[in-house]
């Protein structure tokens, strides 16, 4: 009989079944013996076969009762298992909530400390130092980071800061600031930075870069949209980084003073804006254009060889030249691994530019070889 089947016969309690069975045995044994000795068919039917039928019926009811009991026990066990499953699910939820609360408290504590330290920063350099310290202290998988910046009027991002190892694998973040967009590349050790930590890191960078913007002032030239001279100071770390490789161009406009004197400053401003557009169209996505002052510009041709740097300088010279102005360009190549000093490299590029200016409409290149002097 299949367990779980609904039985329609009346249940017989085991004690009753047992009593019936024993009584029937005790009653029929002597009578069955007599029937057997006398050979009476009637007595055999009444006192042998009929009791056997009764006994079998009693056994059937007893078995049926036991199977019903098994069904009930199985139903109870299934119900208990279902309740246990519900309790386990509720326990998992409680564990998740407890873990989430722990993570929240930990994150809240980290951000509280970070904001407190950030409040002590008085320079953009202090902000970056605070950020770097917190990342290494609270996120052991972070190897280093680099930040690129693009002003509202700038056409392309420029490298701003690089700290530590930023080689792949990387986390890439785009963070809108108040006045700029920042592109952050974070080098990390696989398996040591978790998904929820990426959100925390994003928040730390967002807080730090907004503070950085508050302290650094404007970084773009209001007339042309190019980066200004102050920006050159902000990227000093990149310029002087031993791992950086670039060609720095010092550009001066030939004939610009004459245009200002004969055609007026309004015409001069127009030429400056057009010149920036032409220079920018000659650059690659990660090159940097800075208005150094007046009609002088600095271009940093990033991550390239000297040959490519001179090629870019030549493109600039040809794109800017017209019947009113031309360019004289000094190009200084800084190789990867060389120590550098911002003021010294600018001075060398300026000297090469003045050599080019003797002939005008010319590019003169050189290599940075010396070590930086103490500032």
Q: What's the chain's Rg over C-alpha atoms?
A: 45
The 10s digit of each residue's pLDDT in 98-121 is 555 555 555 667 778 888 888 888
Q: Where are the alpha helices (DSSP H) in the chain?
A: 14-38, 41-44, 50-119, 124-138, 195-216, 229-234, 236-240, 256-263, 265-281, 306-320, 342-359
Cis check for the bond before 134: say yes or no (omega within 30 of 0): no
Q: What burial letters (b/e) apply to 43-81, b meaning 16+ CB within 10 Å?
A: bbeebeeebeeebeebeebbebbebbeebeeeeeeeeee
Q: How far apart are CA 15 and CA 17, in angstroms?
A: 5
Q: Are 227 and 154 in contact (CB under 8 A)?
A: yes
Is residue 187 within 8 A of residue 164, CB to CB? The reply is: yes
Contact 244, 336 (CB under 8 A): yes
The pLDDT value recorded for residue 77 is 87
Structure tokens at 237: 């770390």
pLDDT of residue 7: 45
Tokens of 316: 């600039």
Question: Which pLDDT does position 248 carry in this prediction?
Answer: 96
Write the pLDDT tens digit of every residue in 189-241.
Answer: 888 777 777 888 888 899 999 888 888 777 888 898 888 888 888 888 889 88
Q: What is the pLDDT of residues 311-365, one digit of tens each?
A: 999 999 999 999 899 999 999 999 988 989 999 999 999 999 999 999 999 999 9
For residue 274, what pLDDT is reported?
94
Q: Share the mean pLDDT of the chain.
A: 81
Cβ-based burial of 196 (10 A; exposed 0-12, middle 13-18, buried ≥19): exposed
Percent with pLDDT over 70 in the chain: 78
The pLDDT of residue 354 is 95
Q: What is the pLDDT of residues 4-46, one digit of tens each?
A: 444 444 455 555 555 555 665 555 566 556 555 665 566 556 6
pLDDT digits (tens, 9 = 90+) for 237-267: 889 888 889 999 999 999 999 998 899 989 9
Rounded Cα–Cα distance for residues 301 and 158 (Å): 10
DSSP classification of residue 104: H
Q: Confidence class of residue 277 from pLDDT cuts 50, 70 and 90?
A: very high
């Amino acid at each position: 009989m299949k367990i779980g089947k609904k039985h329609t016969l009346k249940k017989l309690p085991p004690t009753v079944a047992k009593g019936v069975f024993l009584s029937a045995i005790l009653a029929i044994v002597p009578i069955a013996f007599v029937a057997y000795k006398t050979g009476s068919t009637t007595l055999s039917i009444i006192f042998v076969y009929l009791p056997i039928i009764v006994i079998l019926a009693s056994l059937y009811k007893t078995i049926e009762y036991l199977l019903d009991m098994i069904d009930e026990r199985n139903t109870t066990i299934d119900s208990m298992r279902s309740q246990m499953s519900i309790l386990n699910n509720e326990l998992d939820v409680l564990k998740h909530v407890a873990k989430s609360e722990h993570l929240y408290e930990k994150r809240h504590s980290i951000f509280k400390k970070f904001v407190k330290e950030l409040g002590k920063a008085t320079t953009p350099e202090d902000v970056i130092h605070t950020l770097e310290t917190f990342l290494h202290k609270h996120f052991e998988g972070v190897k280093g980071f680099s930040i690129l910046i693009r002003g509202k009027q700038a056409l392309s991002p420029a490298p701003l800061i690089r700290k530590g190892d930023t080689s792949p694998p990387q986390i890439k973040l785009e963070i809108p600031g108040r006045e700029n967009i920042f592109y952050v590349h974070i080098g990390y050790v696989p398996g040591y930075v978790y998904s929820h930590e990426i959100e925390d890191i994003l928040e730390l960078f967002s807080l730090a870069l907004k503070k950085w913007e508050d302290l650094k002032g404007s970084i773009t030239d209001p007339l042309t949209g190019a980066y200004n001279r102050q920006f050159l100071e902000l990227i000093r770390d990149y310029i002087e980084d031993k791992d950086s490789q670039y060609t720095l161009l010092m550009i001066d406009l030939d004939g610009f003073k004459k245009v200002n004197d004969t055609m007026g400053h309004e015409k001069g401003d127009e030429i400056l804006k057009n010149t920036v557009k032409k220079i920018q169209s000659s650059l690659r996505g990660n090159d940097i254009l800075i208005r150094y002052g007046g009609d002088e510009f600095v271009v940093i041709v990033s991550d390239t060889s000297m040959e490519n740097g001179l090629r870019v300088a030549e493109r600039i010279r040809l794109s800017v030249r017209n019947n009113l102005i031309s360019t004289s360009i000094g190009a200084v190549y800084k190789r990867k691994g060389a120590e550098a000093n911002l003021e010294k490299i600018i001075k060398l590029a300026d000297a090469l530019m003045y050599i080019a200016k003797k002939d005008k409409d010319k590019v003169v290149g050189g290599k940075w070889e010396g070590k930086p002097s103490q500032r």
